[in-house]
A and B are shown apart, each in its own frame.
Chain A
Amino acid sequence: MSLDYVKFTPGFGKFMPKEYRDMVEHGPFGKKVSVSQVGTFKEILEEHPMCAGCAMTLFIRLAMVAFPNPEDTITVGTAGCGRLAISQAAIPFVYGNYGDQNGVASGLTRGLRLRFGDKPKDVVVMAGDGGMADIGFAQTLHSWFRKEKFTTIMLDNEVYGNTGGQESGMTNRNQVLKMAPLGKKFEKMDMLGMAKVAGCAYVATVVPNNPRRVESVIKKAVLVAREIGPSYIQAYTSCNIEYAIPTDKVLEDAKTVETDRYKFTEYITDEAKEYLSQLYGYKEYLPKPAAAVEKQ
């Protein structure tokens, strides 16, 4: 886990596939890249079998660009659509049993700290709403209560997409799905509220129709998890297959849903604000100057 692991063994470079050479020579490792530069450098995400036009794919792509230090990042995932792409990137990916991801990430984060001390190694969990809010619920909440220092990202497509359309805890009430023909009987779970109660230091909701915002929240969440505590991002990443959204209308849907019920929200503790402003120059979190006393 360092810049060295992406380099070629001397003499072997010329035998490597073009994509690999491009990644080593023109990838984001050891540089600062941003979403506004995509198309001019080689992204670490490769081809994968997720559906054409899937918003989750777009979100994962943006997340991979946003990682502050990709050469020092490990992703953790589980069964579900997202792992089909997350596993096809040039950074290590750990695949737990379905729902185990936050337990695996807890152990991994602790192990990395023992091995590398304070040198930051970023652990980022990305898993579906079913894997996180249903099957992996206990492990997700426990990792937060235990203040495990890694980032948890929910790829919230509001359905079990990979297995053909069962409702999840994150599906909206009354939603009819292929395998929920009578409609869901209870409300969407408030995972954001639970993240705050359980002690996450940074919590945000985001929709991928705003790439720079996705980039910004991911950077902050990863940085906060290095030192301050757990961070949680909940991203609306529609499933165009199970919700029958034509692929050229996926971004229109994202915009409508964002306006309607998935507005951008950000919660950040004072400690995390201070840390981001002091160490990483986030001006927005600098203490506001005291309001000028009104003249009598």
Chain B
Amino acid sequence: MYLVANIETEICAATSCKLCTQYCPEANTILYDNEAGQDKGLKYGSAYVAVDRCKGCAQCVWVCDNMAKHNAIKMEMIDQIGDTALTENVTYGEKTSSAVLANPVRGQV
């Protein structure tokens, strides 16, 4: 098993700096959902990781901890992570994207 990045929506959606998305070396990997967290009253939307593209470098963790100072990203084992985003479940819209979450190992939606 291997580590991938996981973003805690509640912390990210409280501030939404969009820094990690600009610093991940991989394209189309940290995406942004403008509506995430709105059901919990958080208004900014949240970054999320398409874990099938994540190479586990943890640069986003450094960015969120040291540049953004929000500590919203943790590296987690892919089989421990629970439901998360996968490229095949991502939909792009006008100036946003969103994902139906699924288990990355079992792959069910």
Contacts and interface: CB of A to CB of B under 8 A. Distances in A.
B93 to A, nearest CB: 8
A18 B89 CA distance: 10
A53 interface: yes
Interface in B1-43: 18, 21-28, 30-32, 34
A248 B5 CA distance: 12
B103 interface: no
Contacts of A52: 25, 55-57
A22 B92 contact: yes
A36 interface: yes
Secondary structure type dominating chain A contacts: helix
Interface residues of B, number: 32
Contact of B95 (A37, A45, A247): A37
B88 interface: yes
Given A55-B25, A248-B59, A251-B63, A39 B92 contact: no
A19 interface: yes
B57 A248 contact: yes
Interface of A: 18-19, 22, 25-26, 35-47, 50, 52-55, 57-58, 61-62, 64, 209, 211-212, 247-252
> Which are the 4 A-B pairs with shortest beta-carbon distances?
A53-B57, A39-B32, A52-B55, A26-B92
5 contacts: A42-B92, A52-B25, A212-B22, A247-B58, A252-B66
